[in-house]
Each structure stands twice: as C-alpha cells, then as structure tokens.
Amino acid sequence: MTEETIATAESDLARHAEKMAKKKAARDKIMATKTGEKGLIIVHTGKGKGKSSAAFGMIFRHIAHGKKCAVVQFIKGAMSTGERDMILKHFSDLCDFHTMGEGFTWETQDKARDIEMAQAAWEKAKELIRDPLNSMVLLDEVNIAIRYDYIDLAEVLEFLATEKPPMTHVVLTGRNAKDELIELADLVTEMELVKHPFRSGIKAQIGVEY
C-alpha cells in the first residue's frame, strides 16, 4: 500500500467509527424510553416454519433463567417432538408440559373427540395461566383449535383480557390467527413461507421438521 491509500483507509475507518457512534447514541436514546414491563400476549402465525420453535425458544430462555413456565400442546401430531422430549427429560422441574390433542383433525376423523380434547386442553391452559408461579405459558397450535371452533374465540379473548395475571406472558401459535386475537396481542410475528423443499420432493427430515 502507498502512504496515500493507507491514509484513505484510515480516514474511512475514522468515518465509520463516527457514523456508528452516532447510530449507537440514537439507539441508546430510543432504548432509554422503553422502561415498561408487562406480561405480553404473543402470537406466532403464518404459513412459514418456526412458529412453534420460536415460541419454544422463549420457553428455553425462561428455563435458562430458572423461571417457571408451562406448555400446552393442542395438536400432538404437529411433528416437532424434539423440544418436547428435551423438556420432559431435562427440565420438567421448571416447565410443566401437557400434550392434550390427538393429532390434526384430518388424522383423527373424530370431531366429537377432537372437540372434547381441545376443551380439556383449554381448561388446563386456563389453570396454568391463572397460576401466578408461571412466568410464561405457551399454547402451542391453539390457533388451529380456535379456527375449527373447537374452542370459542370470544372466551379466549375474554379470558386473556380479564384473567391473565398482569406479568404473565402467554404465547399462542398456529396458522390463521384470528384478527381479533392479533388486535388484542402485544407482539405478533408472521412466519412467511418464501421457499420450501417439499416442492422439490424432499420429505420431512429428522432434526429439521421433527
């Protein structure tokens, strides 16, 4: 390098440091205004992958921080048993885990039984949310049970709005989240499918889908 290129590179780096210092100051200022804490209603929806896994990520963070939490799985057949197996094996002291559903409704073909299971899961969910020891309760695939009218949307909304303890986080996952639920929620993420290997004939694989 000539002395001139070295000088240019150094001045580039100095400009970068200055720009980033400004960015940091702006960010710190914004973050300083965010001081509130509350139990959030969190919704993961959309056709993409990761709705349940991202929710389990928060459950794992709770466990890592030694905080109590609970999971109700409304649809057993939702394939990803890895997180469940790990929680049951290693962390059942911190995380109360219930798998209530029998599978997707087209697998069971018994609507009366599906409704009964979904109702039982919802009763368990209410009990876990009311328990002030639980810092987070995950209702995995509950949106599907709501969509099929196996549990009543209005009742879910009413319960979350009036009976959820103020500091408890409740996470609701599944495709086709109802607009009214999105309206009530504090944090909503839509997992959008951009590209999927099923289209090229690749099957569900161990460690990826389950």
**Binders of a copy of itself in range 52-111 (CB under 8 A):** 52-58, 60-65, 67, 69, 80-83, 85-86, 90, 105-111
Binding of a copy of itself by 29 (CB under 8 A): no
**Pairwise CA distance, residues 18 & 78, whole Å:** 49
Contact 134, 168 (CB under 8 A): yes
Q: Does residue 174 sit in helix, strand or coil?
A: coil
Binding of a copy of itself by 27 (CB under 8 A): yes
Q: State which residue, 126 or 169, has the beta carbon closest to a copy of itself.
A: 169
| From 13, 155, 161, 180, residue interacting with a copy of itself (rule: CB under 8 A) | 13
111-130 residues in contact with a copy of itself (CB under 8 A) are: 111-112
Binding of a copy of itself by 20 (CB under 8 A): yes
Binding of a copy of itself by 182 (CB under 8 A): yes
Provide the Cα torsion 131, 135, 139, 143; round to 10°: 110
Binding of a copy of itself by 207 (CB under 8 A): yes
Binding of a copy of itself by 48 (CB under 8 A): yes
Binding of a copy of itself by 161 (CB under 8 A): no
Q: Rounded to the nearest whole angstrom, what is the least distance from the CB of residue 89 to a copy of itself in the complex?
A: 8
Could you tell me how many residues of this chain bind a copy of itself (CB under 8 A)? 83
Crossing angle of helices 82-90 and 51-64, in 10° steps, is 20
**Pairwise CA distance, residues 125 & 168, whole Å:** 13
Q: Which residues contact 168 (CB under 8 A, 6 or more apart)?
A: 39, 129, 132, 134, 135, 136, 137
